[in-house]
Amino acid sequence: FGEKKRISLATVLSMEPEILILDEPTSNLDPRARRHLIKLLKNLNLTKIVAGHDLELILDICPRVVLLDEGKIVANGNTREVLSNKSLMESHGLEVPLSLRH
């Protein structure tokens, strides 16, 4: 993935954190770099807090999701259950990820 992101992430991981906080981690990455980052994040055995709009990424690496709208929690639970709830997603200006559409 992007060299700056790779260096930043390596620096943080060298400190052996218990929690990793990521803001839009796949932004500005090409598809190959995105895949590498997702693979790395999936294999990390630590708590990850991810802020982002890439719902496919969220599905891949987060077993639980907290959905915020205007700073308020509107859903909190199993990622697949929350993100597949069409009425919930649409009422907050979001779409169900392609991989969850039936």
Are 17 and 3 members of one domain? yes
The pLDDT score that the predictor gives to residue 6 is 85
Taking residues 7-18, report their average pLDDT.
Answer: 94
DSSP assignment of 15-74 equals T--SEEEEESTTTT--HHHHHHHHHHHHH--SEEEEE-S-HHHHHHH-SEEEEEETTEEE
% pLDDT > 70, the chain: 99
* Domain span including residue 26: 1-57
Instruction: Give the pLDDT confidence score for residue 17 in this predicted structure.
Output: 96
Number of structural domains, the chain? 2
Mean pLDDT of the chain: 93
pLDDT tens profile 40-56: 999 999 999 999 999 99
Q: Check residue 13 and give its pLDDT.
A: 95
Same domain flag for 52 and 84: no
